[in-house]
Amino acid sequence: MTRIDIDGVPVATISPPIRGVLSFMEANFAEPLSLAQLARLSNLSLYRFATVFRREVGLPPHQYLCRLRISHAQFLLRQGTSPATVAMDSGFFDQSHLCRHFKRLCGVTPGQFVATSRGSGAPAGFDAPLPAACA
């Protein structure tokens, strides 16, 4: 079993089935992933998977997936990739889908993030916080 932290606070011990799902999500975050698909990977029922995942990771599966996608989007934006391309490469349906989730998690739009990143660097808190196991 592995321990992960979210914002420096130990959350839980990660069981091997959930660790396998986390690895799968990290490798396939840009693809459409369903809760049923992830539950099958863990060999748990849909309800049990959602409960165990949230308890062990500290976030529901969809929120965790959104954070993975936003983290990748931030990386691509820093590299100078256009927001439309970033959206597609990060697993969002379109640029507005990216913008909505980016603003919800980061507090700024992708354009504001890029403008700030080009200056003196992104202020603390711009990066969507991810568990240490995913960083």
CATH, domain range 2-63 = 1.10.10.60
pLDDT above 90 for 54:
yes
SS3 35: helix
Query: What pLDDT shows up at residue 117?
Result: 80
> Please, what CATH class does the domain formed by 66-118 belong to?
mainly alpha
**Residue 81, Cα to own-chain centre: how many angstroms?**
19
Query: What pLDDT shows up at residue 119?
Result: 61
SS3 3: strand
For the segment 105-133, the average pLDDT, to the nearest whole number, is 65
Domain segments of the chain: what residues? 2-63, 66-118
User: What CA–CA distance (Å, rounded) separates 99 from 39?
Assistant: 28
pLDDT band for position 130 (50/70/90)? very low
